[in-house]
Amino acid sequence: MFDHRSEHIDDRMVLLQANIDDMNPEYSSYVTDRLFEAGANDVYWIPIIMKRGRPGLMLNVLASEERLSVLEQIVFAETTTLGVRYIRADVHRLGRKTVPVDTPWGPIAVKLGYHRGELVQIAPEFRECEAAAKAHGVPLKRVYEEVRRRFAETERARHDGPPNSSDSEGKGSG
């Protein structure tokens, strides 16, 4: 749905917010899924303390202006909020690319983020790391570390290329 291969600015985005203090928090994942299915770019919840010290949740939904009506309808139908806020936003998105990395547990995808053409973010795909950890009985942390290590080795080899034969024999220039 979203093309993020090239770094760009998404303008005309809106952050829809709602403070909720009287809803069963178990509903949160269901509401999140509904909002993503309806075209939200991002959905997240923040624990907050509301007036008179009541614990609550702040729902945040990032979306294009064109999706607001549908998303607002879901928020009012599926939560107990009595109102929403709109905050206009422009969103700077890094260029993205996904590459496979070979691991002892099979290939795992890694998301790469580029800022002005320079690689600045490396993120193994959570679901694939989780599946590998469960299937092979290894800690998730170990899978992440191995994926990152192997990606770094592959990148280093790709940029370094084969060693110069005169340098590998200890001969320098001069």
pLDDT at residue 159 tops 90: no
Does 86 share its domain with 56?
yes
Q: Are 103 and 150 in contact (CB under 8 A)?
A: yes
Confidence of residue 4 (pLDDT cuts 50, 70, 90): low
- Does residue 172 belong to any structural domain of this protein? no
* pTM of the complete model: 0.67
In a domain, 152, yes or no: yes
Which residues constitute the domain of residue 128?
Answer: 95-160
CATH code at position 53: 3.30.70.1380
* Same domain (yes/no): 70, 104: no
SS (H, E, C) 48-106: EECHHHCEEEEEEEEEEHHHHHHHHHHHHHHCCCCCCEEEEEEEEECEEEEEEECCCCC
**Mean pLDDT, to the nearest integer, of 19-33?**
95
Domain closes at, from 36, 67, 92: 92
2 belongs to a structural domain: no
Is the per-residue pLDDT at 70 higher than 70?
A: yes
Q: What is the pLDDT of residues 87-110, one digit of tens each?
A: 998 888 888 899 999 999 999 999
